[in-house]
Structure 1
Amino acid sequence: MTRAFVTGVGGQDGGYLAEALLARGDDVHALVLHAERDAPLPDGVQRHVGDVTDVEATRRLLLDLAPDEVYNLAAISSVAHSWEWPDLAALVNGTAAVALLESAHQLQRTGHAVRFVQASSAEVFGQPDTSPQDESTPVRPVNPYGAAKAYAHLMTGVYRHRGLHASSLVLYNHESPRRPAHFVTRKITRGVAEIATGRRDRLWLGNLDARRDWGWAPDYVAAMVAAAGAEAPDDYVVATGEAHAVRDLVATAFAHVGIDDWEPLVAVDPDLIRPADAALLVGDASRARERLGWRPTATFEQVVARMVDADLGADGRAEPA
């Protein structure tokens, strides 16, 4: 039986990943923050209370558990929050990730083979000169989140050269009904659901022209599992290859509830516009397709529809946050 160790299990991807590993029959262990020690986890996950920034304690735990696979999803996951707490983003998204790589490497030196998957981000590319981006695109972040992720991404390659089966997955935007409410995608789908049910009269957003490559979160988790099981480790861009503007997502969400004239229902709040917004980010997942057999299963329209439906709830009313 494969023993897997997952950080960031409380997030959108962490929950889907734990479920996928359990469905595969794995012995799944998760690192859970003290503040989330009583939060519900998928049945079968063994929780260990701690923090990736506590390097010594996390290293002892990893060496004691001796997992076969390590998935590092722990992160300050919001670009906006990284501007508020750049030092914390550097610590969690960067330094702690590298410490976990070193812990996995130390475990491997005891004779126990281990495979490591780092959840990276398209934000490492920042302002790319070309589109779509692939694994050869220069790393040039423009925000604290991307800079910290870039450090961990590059160090994953360093440890791969030291003999660790370490893969970094450059994940483009991926969404689901589990996305927290402060993310723009969920803010939109919840807002549309509330407007459709008469509980709100306007949706306030930031830059409507920002373009992103949005996919379905469970698909991206499947890429992580495939990378861990691949014969050889590598870096992988995981993306749909299609870019859509925020206004496209807004229009698609409103159309799903039968509202075509949505412009009067949306207003721009200057306070929601980021200090520096990444340029056109759209990924070329050819390597993941060819080496991992990975392909997205849901279209952009399907992702948006599933999120709106979830926010409407089974009775057609917008669910609480």
Structure 2
Amino acid sequence: MKNALITGITGQDGAYLSQHLLKEGYKVYGLIARRSTDTLWRLNYLGIENEVELIEGDMTDISSLIRAIKISKASEVYNLAAQSFVGTSWSQPILTAEVTGVGVTNILEAIRLLDPSIKFYQASTSEMFGLIQESMQSENTPFYPRSPYGVAKLYGHWITVNYRESFNIHASSGILFNHESPLRGIEFVTRKVTDAVAKIKLGLSDELRLGNIDAKRDWGFAGDYVEAMWMMLQQDKPDDYVIATGKTTTVRDMCKIAFDHVNLNYDDYVIIDPKFYRPAEVDVLLGNPTKAKEKLKWEPKTSLEDLIIMMVDADLGRIKKQQQRG
């Protein structure tokens, strides 16, 4: 049996990756930051809360990372921990830099000191492309991040490459484009939309306030994308891969899919609010997943329509349960 350690296990990707690794027969350990609120709801939602072993630690404390690697005896480490909300990175840029950027160095250094044969996965992001230099972004497209989050992730990406080349560590980065699910945080636009649609349909709200609804994104299902993470660490040689659908959709069209599913017209409810415009907007992101398809044999399985319907139905179910309990 293989042992894996996942940082950020309580997030969307951490939960789905845990589920996937358990299916593959792994013993799964997760690094968890000390919090007074319940952060395990995603693991609970997937019914795997009692199947993973949690270790307290923090990405800014290398001693806790060393301890976690020793306890887990991991042969694979997946670094998904980050301050991962782009909007927050402008109001908390130093925290974002320390956790999302320097935190990557901390865990790579822990691996180097303890056991350089451990395989490492770094969660990179399409936000590193930012002000896009090519209409379709691949592993060779120049980066131009447009947020403190994107800048911090770019540092994490390049330090992963550096440790791979300097210390011969099997370290790979997945440059993941937007990936969503019913486990997405409410602050992210897809979940904000599907949650609002459910509330409007159930008579609990009458509007949805958004910023730039003409921004275009390449959206996929998180459950599909975590399989690519695992596939990267099964390769003989480490490398970097763009994980995307290769299709782009506006926020406006995504809203239309969500409202259409409950037989409502999005024009009647969506209000443009300048408060939600970003200081530096990323207008279009469109990934080229050719390398992942050819080398990893990875393909996205879930269409955007199916994904949004899945999320709306999950939010409808969640809110109805709350009403019944209420």
> Which TM-score band (shorter chain)?
over 0.9
Classify 1:246/1:319 alpha carbon distance in 2 versus 1 (closer, same or farther; 3 Å): farther
Give the aligned residue type for 2:77: V
Aligned counterparts of 1:318 and 1:126: Cα–Cα separation in 2: 39
Give the root-mean-square deviation of aligned CA atoms.
Answer: 1.6
Aligned counterparts of 1:37 and 1:319: Cα–Cα separation in 2: 18
Classify 1:233/1:189 alpha carbon distance in 2 versus 1 (closer, same or farther; 3 Å): same
SS of the residue 2:6 aligns to: strand
Partner of 1:20: 20
Counterpart of 1:117 (choices 113, 121, 132) is: 121
Q: Percent of pairs identical after alignment?
A: 44
Deviation at 1:155, TM superposition (A): 1.1
Tell me whether 1:244 sits opposite 2:285 in the alignment: no
Aligned counterparts of 1:275 and 1:284: Cα–Cα separation in 2: 27
Deviation at 1:63, TM superposition (A): 3.9
Aligned counterparts of 1:80 and 1:244: Cα–Cα separation in 2: 20
Partner of 2:174: 169
Matches within 5 A, 1:219-234: 219-234=224-239
Partner of 2:296: 292
Aligned counterparts of 1:204 and 1:65: Cα–Cα separation in 2: 44
Partner of 1:262: 266
Work out whether residues 312 and 319 of structure 1, in 8 Å CA contact, stay in contact via their aligned partners in 2.
Answer: no
Comparing 143-152 with 126-135, which one deviates more in the overlay?
126-135
Work out whether residues 31 and 50 of structure 1, in 8 Å CA contact, stay in contact via their aligned partners in 2.
Answer: yes
Aligned counterparts of 1:318 and 1:278: Cα–Cα separation in 2: 37
Structure 2 gaps of 5+ residues are none
SS of the residue 1:119 aligns to: strand
Aligned counterparts of 1:18 and 1:317: Cα–Cα separation in 2: 28
Partner of 1:312: 316
Residues 145-199 of structure 1: per-residue CA shift (max 9 Å, x gap)? 0000000101111111131100000010000000011111111001111111221
Aligned counterparts of 2:133 and 2:68: Cα–Cα separation in 1: 42
Partner of 1:97: 104
Give the aligned residue type for 1:204: R
Counterpart of 1:301 (choices 301, 305, 313) is: 305
Give the aligned residue type for 2:51: G
Give the aligned residue type for 1:235: D
Give the aligned residue type for 2:34: H
Work out whether residues 190 and 318 of structure 1, in 8 Å CA contact, stay in contact via their aligned partners in 2.
Answer: no
SS of the residue 1:34 aligns to: coil
Partner of 1:140: 144
Aligned counterparts of 1:45 and 1:152: Cα–Cα separation in 2: 26
Aligned counterparts of 1:36 and 1:101: Cα–Cα separation in 2: 28
Give the aligned residue type for 2:175: V
Partner of 2:4: 4
Classify 1:193/1:98 alpha carbon distance in 2 versus 1 (closer, same or farther; 3 Å): same
